[in-house]
């Protein structure tokens, strides 16, 4: 066992004395030491209850003969961090999470790990750490929040952002906004639509790193506690059988994840996170592979913000297992991949079926014959851009309009909320990429404001930053290379005509190559927005969004 290096032999008597200072007995020290990696805190709604999940996990480990030892990681709430300086730290926190877990796990020689994430950057950060450490590992998330209720309609956090635009546009009263504020987020869990947190928790299950149900069982459901206990038991089985994270996170597993990503209509942020995780697993995932998956996989689900269904509905309709079983009928899922159940994907989904064909469409009757995400290329995005195609209205699949150029999210939001954006415009928000932001802020506020003002079928948004998983409409993000690196986004001028053709995967600026070269010769790199602290270091080291915005 790995922990023998710090607890066996006469020379480790000092180490054992410190373990005994924790209150551990000789028998507990002799057992496998299982690290419980918990992102619980009292700030994030998705994490407020993770102390209960951790207690259940520890019971499972104890039942199976291990000694659980808990430590914590940080977690940022993207919703609370939205539209202010705090959002610069969200994506950047992913690297800190991975690094800090590596430090704790290596410094204390754990034999195996149970990871307890829930929200946006925590899931991929922990998966990156799991791949890097390559120990027997299992994930159990805190589960999704239930949908809220407002005036007889189910709602979520994304509606709240849109309601701000509705009030500004005179389409909603302040009294109604206050009423919605009270009920939109009814309790603990990751926000209730197919936003980034739930996308990544579902894909953790697809990758094979979470037990069946990991992505969809609601946070408040007693099944979630039972799942946590089972995860604690299962990690001991993985340890006994010598099944490690990289035995599970193979190229095949990532291929399955991309296919299900497209079928579910997941967040555009998965195109940042899956490549970053894959890099730690020595698997190459580029944007061409995502585009190929998009063209092969039908979209079977339309969950909020793309539709009126929520995570609790997906769970009741059969969950991720039913989605994978349906895709497997078309030969789109590799059923031989091993998972944390110590069985294969095929064995896990053998008896799974769709229980509600309105929530999960049959593969022969999909919402779309291709996937929920699309990768776009062109002279505005030579290295690619991404859009949540499944949440774009048909009228905006092809759009051409004048650029309205803003050098920050704040400037764009001010213009939108003050009625300075009109039908047909293409809002360009630049210098918000991984380096330029720095931190590649998630921009739900401008997209939700556009939707709330009734312009989501008339106005497009393009950024070298990123959009929230809760974003809907023709919102194209991750444009690479970013403006701060001298990419074409830096050369766009007010009034330039931009052409968007999502079915053809095109994003073009209707300016000649010669004119762009002339503009490039006059472009001057802007001074960094942050010059000290963690973000300054991050900006110097982070790669392009097209390669997952990883630290190199």
Among 246, 224, 243, smallest CA distance to 57 is for 224
* DSSP H or E segment with residue 5: helix 4-7
The answer to whether residues 373 and 261 touch, using CB atoms and an 8 Å cutoff, is yes
| Cβ-based burial of 534 (10 A; exposed 0-12, middle 13-18, buried ≥19) | middle
Round to whole Å and give the CA distance between 6 and 133.
17
544 catalytic? Reply is no
Is 519 in a helix, a strand, or coil? helix
DSSP 8-state assignment for residue 333: S
Residue with tokens 């194209």: 476
Residues with Cβ within 8 Å of 172's Cβ and at least 6 positions away in sequence, in order, are 163, 166, 452
Distances (CA, A) of 131 to 209, 336, 438: 10, 20, 26
C-beta separation of 306 from 298 below 8 A: no
Active-site residue, from 90, 468, 475, 544: 468
Displacement of CA 498 from its chain's centroid (Å): 28
Token digits of residue 64: 């199976």
Task: Give the C-alpha separation, 120 to 470, whole Å.
Answer: 12
Residue 288 main-chain phi, psi, to 5 deg: -60, -35
According to DSSP, residue 551 is labeled B
Q: Cα angle vertex 197, ends 194, 199, to 5°?
A: 50
Q: Looking at the annotation, which residues are catalytic? A: 468
């Amino acid at each position: 066992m790995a922990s023998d290096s710090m607890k066996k032999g006469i020379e480790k008597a000092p180490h054992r004395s410190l373990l005994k200072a924790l209150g551990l007995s000789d028998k507990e020290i002799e057992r496998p030491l299982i690290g419980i990696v918990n992102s619980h805190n009292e700030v994030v709604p998705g994490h407020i209850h993770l102390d209960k999940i951790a207690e259940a996990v520890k019971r499972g480990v104890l039942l199976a003969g291990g000694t659980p030892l808990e430590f914590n990681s940080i977690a940022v709430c993207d919703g609370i961090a939205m539209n202010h300086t705090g959002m610069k730290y969200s994506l950047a926190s992913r690297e800190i999470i991975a690094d800090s877990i590596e430090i704790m796990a290596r410094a204390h020689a754990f034999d195996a790990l149970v990871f307890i994430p829930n929200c946006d950057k925590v899931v991929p950060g922990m998966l990156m750490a799991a791949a890097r450490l390559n120990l027997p590992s299992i994930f159990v998330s805190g589960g999704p929040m239930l949908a809220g209720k407002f005036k007889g309609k189910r709602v979520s956090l994304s509606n709240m952002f849109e309601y701000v635009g509705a009030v500004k546009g005179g389409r909603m009263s302040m009294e109604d906004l206050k009423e919605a504020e009270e009920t939109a987020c009814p309790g603990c869990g990751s926000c209730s639509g197919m936003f980034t947190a739930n996308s990544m928790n579902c894909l953790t299950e697809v990758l094979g790193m979470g037990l069946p149900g990991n992505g969809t069982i609601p946070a408040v459901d007693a099944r979630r506690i039972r799942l946590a206990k089972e995860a604690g038991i299962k990690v001991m089985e993985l340890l006994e059988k010598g099944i490690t994270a990289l035995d599970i996170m193979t190229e095949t597993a990532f291929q399955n994840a991309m296919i299900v990503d497209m079928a579910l209509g997941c967040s555009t942020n998965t195109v940042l996170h899956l490549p970053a995780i894959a890099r730690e697993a020595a698997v190459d995932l580029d944007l061409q592979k995502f585009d190929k998956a998009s063209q092969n996989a039908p979209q079977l689900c339309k969950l909020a913000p793309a539709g009126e269904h929520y995570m609790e509905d997906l769970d009741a309709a059969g969950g991720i297992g039913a989605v994978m079983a349906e895709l497997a009928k078309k030969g789109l899922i590799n059923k031989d991949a091993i998972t944390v159940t110590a069985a294969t994907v095929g064995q896990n989904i053998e008896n799974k079926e769709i229980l509600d064909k309105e929530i999960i469409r049959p593969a022969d009757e999909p919402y779309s014959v291709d996937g929920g995400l699309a990768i776009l290329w062109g002279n505005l995005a030579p290295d690619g851009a991404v859009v949540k195609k499944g949440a774009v209205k048909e009228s905006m699949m092809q759009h051409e309009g004048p650029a309205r150029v803003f050098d920050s999210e704040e400037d764009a939001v001010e213009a939108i909320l003050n009625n300075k954006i009109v039908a047909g415009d293409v809002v360009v928000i630049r210098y918000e990429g991984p380096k330029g932001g720095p931190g590649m802020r998630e921009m739900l506020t401008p997209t939700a404001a556009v939707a709330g003002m009734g312009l989501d079928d008339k106005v497009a948004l393009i950024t070298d930053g990123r959009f929230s998983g809760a974003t809907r409409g023709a919102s194209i993000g991750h444009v690479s290379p970013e403006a701060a690196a001298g990419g074409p986004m830096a050369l766009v001028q007010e009034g330039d005509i931009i052409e968007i053709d999502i079915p053809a995967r095109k994003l073009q600026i209707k300016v000649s190559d010669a004119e762009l070269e002339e503009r490039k010769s006059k472009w001057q790199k802007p001074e960094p927005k942050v010059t000290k602290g963690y973000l300054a270091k991050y900006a110097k080291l982070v790669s392009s969004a097209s390669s997952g915005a990883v630290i190199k």
